[in-house]
A = this chain, B = another copy of it.
Amino acid sequence: MPTAKKDVIAGVFDNLRRVIQAVHGYSNRAQRVGGLTGPQLWAIKVLSEAAPTRVSDLARRMYLHPSTVVGILDRLESKGLAARYRSAEDHRVVDVKLTVKGKAIVDRSPAVAQGLLLQGLEGLSGRELRVVSEGLELLVGILGAQRVPPQLLFSPEVNLPQTGDGPGKR
């Protein structure tokens, strides 16, 4: 019983892994709603909230690497749910929008993959929700302390070659 703190930490590890596994497996379980995968649903959700969006913007909003988003967009486009348009002002930029079909899917699946989590969070009391929120912020602080500030997660500055204390590779 003097190891109370250690036990709590062990529990945090366990639960963190559970949460990650759950969220991961959740969105990864191919073919969820309407033959869409989790990230695909997530993408059209983000697009429905803020479109048109440039690719890099979408990546930032999804906390994903741009190249990852390109693949997701390829699949959405081949399904006829999203469309890409070269920007007129800046020809480097590609604007992404939902098609009518894509919008229909968003409307038809209001909560999508995160629905369960969203519902659950909404069902919490104010105090419980605050606990969850604060707990996650502490975790983010810990993980971000030696790593990446959240907002810059995938900005170019962070994409450096990992030379921190690298024992000469390559």
Contact between B14 and A162, CB atoms less than 8 A apart: yes
Chain A contacts with B in 108-159, Cβ cutoff 8 A: 114, 116-118, 120-124, 126, 128-148, 150, 153-154, 158-159
* Chain A facing B: main interface SS: helix
A15 lies within 8 A of chain B by Cβ: yes
Whether A10 touches B162, Cβ cut-off 8 Å, given contacts A5-B129, A18-B140, A146-B18, is yes
| Chain A interface, number of residues (Cβ within 8 angstroms) | 70
Chain B residues near A104: list those with CB within 8 A. Answer: none
A142 and B167 contact, Cβ closer than 8 Å, known pairs A26-B147, A136-B12, A153-B18 = no
Q: What 17 new A-B contacts, CB under 8 Å, besides A11-B137, A13-B114, A18-B63?
A: A7-B161, A9-B158, A10-B153, A10-B162, A11-B136, A11-B167, A16-B23, A18-B145, A19-B143, A20-B23, A22-B144, A23-B143, A116-B143, A116-B144, A120-B142, A131-B135, A135-B136
